[in-house]
Amino acid sequence: MVEQGFAAPEVCKIVQITYRQLDYWARTELVTPSIRDASGSGTQRLYSFQDLVTLKVIKNLLDTGVSLQRVRNAVEHLRDMDRPLTGVTLMSDGRGVYEAHSPEAVIDLLQSGQGVFAIAIDRVWSDVEKAVPKPKGTAKAATGRRRAAGGA
């Protein structure tokens, strides 16, 4: 099955970021397009659905005040995971970003006395699915994306 690719203008609309942000993140290799990178003048980057989810997580983290360097560290952690992202929740106290892989991890963060926010990647996934224009065979395409990424 050939994965649907998303061009930069569509990515910006879906993720709600500027082209300038997307271009900067691609040039600095925060998120490079999985399907096709630009290879000179006249070519365009094509991003995968998984790339859209990663970009939306980045936007959410930045919107809550996490520094770009800490976001880079969180993205590296997500890339290095050997299991599907579905079911992962990221939490932050504004300084660090943590994976809340158990209720105990959440409690430890909350007991530190800091304000904490969470980003459930399943929720981001669903939000991105809703924002993506639906091609023909919608339910099948969405299910295929979730299965391809290791989700249910």
More reliable by pLDDT, 152 or 58: 58
- Looking at residue 70, its pLDDT comes to 86
CA-derived radius of gyration, the chain: 16
Residues facing 47 on adjacent strands: 6
Which residues 6+ apart lie within 8 Å of 17 measured at CB? Answer: 11, 55, 59
Report pLDDT digits (tens) over 1-35.
556 799 999 999 999 999 999 999 999 999 999 99
Which residues 6+ apart lie within 8 Å of 80 measured at CB? Answer: none
Report pLDDT digits (tens) over 105-146.
555 555 555 555 667 777 887 888 888 887 765 455 444 555
The separation between CA 35 and the C-alpha centre of its own chain, rounded to angstroms, equals: 15
Between the CA of residue 111 and those of 63, 88, 89, 96, 107, what are the distances in Å? 24, 21, 18, 15, 6
Please, which pLDDT band fits residue 97 given cuts at 50, 70 and 90? confident
pTM of the complete model? 0.70
DSSP codes joined into one string, 102-135: SHHHHHHHHHTTS--EEEEHHHHHHHHHHHSPP-
- Looking at residue 143, its pLDDT comes to 47
Between the CA of residue 105 and those of 22, 86, 99, 138, what are the distances in Å? 32, 18, 8, 37
Q: What's the CA gap between 91 and 99, in Å, rounded?
A: 6
List strand residue ranges (DSSP E) for 3-152, in order: 6-7, 46-47, 89-92, 97-99, 117-120
Report pLDDT digits (tens) over 37-84.
877 777 789 999 989 999 998 998 888 888 898 889 888 877 887 766
